[in-house]
Structures are given as C-alpha cells and as structure tokens.
Amino acid sequence: MKIGIGCDHGGVVLKGAVIEAITEVGHDYYDYGTFGQESVDYPDYAEKVCKAIINGEINKGILICGTGIGISIAANKFKGIRCAHVTDEFQAQMSAEHNDANMIALGGRVSDEISTKAMVKRFLETEFAGGRHKNRVDKILRIEEKNFN
Ligand code: RB5
C-alpha cells in the first residue's frame, strides 16, 4: 500500500517512528510535510494528505499534530475521509476493523515512539470486518451525502 504522512511542527519529531513502522510493515510512504520545527497550520497538512487519498495517489494516511485533535478534525471535513484520533493500539485496531478508517491521527506531544509504532502497525495490518459495521459506515456516508447544516 501507499501510505501518506502529514504533520505540523507538533508532530514532526514523531514522524520518524511513523516512517519506521510503515517501512517495517512493508508499505511505501509519501511524506507531505511539514519538514521542520517552524510553526505551521495543521489544516494545511491534513488537506494535502486527504486530497491525495481522494485523488487515489495514496491508499491510507497517518496525520500527526501536537495532540492529534486539530488535524483529525480538519481531515474529517473532507468527503470520503474517515480519520480516527487514536492514542492506543486497541483504538488503532478498532478504527480499521469497525470504522474502516482510512486515516489515523496521532499526537506528537501525547504518544511515545514505541506506542506510535505499535499503533501504526496495528492500523495498517487490520482489515475492515464488514457486515454490521459496513451498514454503520454506510450510514456515515449517507450523512456525508446529505451534508446537514
Ligand atoms: C500547535 O501548537 C498545536 O495546536 C497543534 O499541533 C495541535 O495540537 C492542534 O490540535
């Protein structure tokens, strides 16, 4: 699979662990920035990776900001994106198995390198269970179509 990575300055240090995990699982990674410690705005990097998924350039994405919160909120504004903000391996697994998440968001000021690698691997190695979970994801898609305001 092709895995996109996007982060702000709060996630740039943890990105190394994400890259290690992706390559150890045997996937290719595509880094959409940011690349330095200079302060940037996390929605810009969420947008780059979400558009790459929507355009079919990549299959899944890993986002990182300071907490994982802002960048996940931004990502979930894009049609077709299901981004789960996760802080442990179980959540990472469930996001793929039950929610068919195509992205996870991590906190560079929340998670350490060991748990980050475990979360990324679990997310990438877990298949969507389908069945009743598909019905629920389909309902999310229908909400997205209606775009209530
Ligand atoms: C940036 O300082 C910080 O607000 C951002 O990385 C993130 O934690 C927002 O949710």
Instruction: Residue 74: give its domain's CATH number.
Output: 3.40.1400.10
Query: Averaged over 33-40, what is the pLDDT?
Result: 97
Number of domains, the chain: 1
pLDDT band per the 50, 70, 90 thresholds, residue 56: very high
Write out the catalytic residue numbers: 65, 98
Please give the full DSSP string across 10-62, using - where no structure is assigned: TTTTTHHHHHHHHHHHT-EEEE----SSS---HHHHHHHHHHHHHTTS-SEEE
Q: Using CA positions, which residue lies closest to atom 9 of ligand 1? A: 70
Output the CA 38–ligand 1 centroid distance in Å: 13
Give the Cα separation of 96 and 104 in Å (integer). Answer: 9
Give the Cα separation of 149 and 146 in Å (integer). Answer: 9
User: Which of the pair, 85 or 146, is modelled with greater confidence?
Assistant: 85
Output the CA 98–ligand 1 centroid distance in Å: 27
- What single DSSP character describes residue 82? -
Q: What is the percent of the chain with per-residue pLDDT over 90, rounded to a whole number?
A: 97
User: Domain limits at 100?
Assistant: 2-148
Query: Averaged over 87-107, what is the pLDDT?
Result: 98
2 — phi, psi (to 5°)? -105, 120
pLDDT at 147: 75
Output the CA 60–ligand 1 centroid distance in Å: 22
Q: Mind listing the pLDDT tens digit for each residue in 71-83? A: 999 999 999 999 9
- pLDDT for 119 beyond 70: yes
Cα angle, residue 24 at apex, residues 1 and 83 outer, rounded to 5°: 50
Query: Averaged over 3-31, what is the pLDDT?
Result: 98
28 — phi, psi (to 5°)? -95, 145
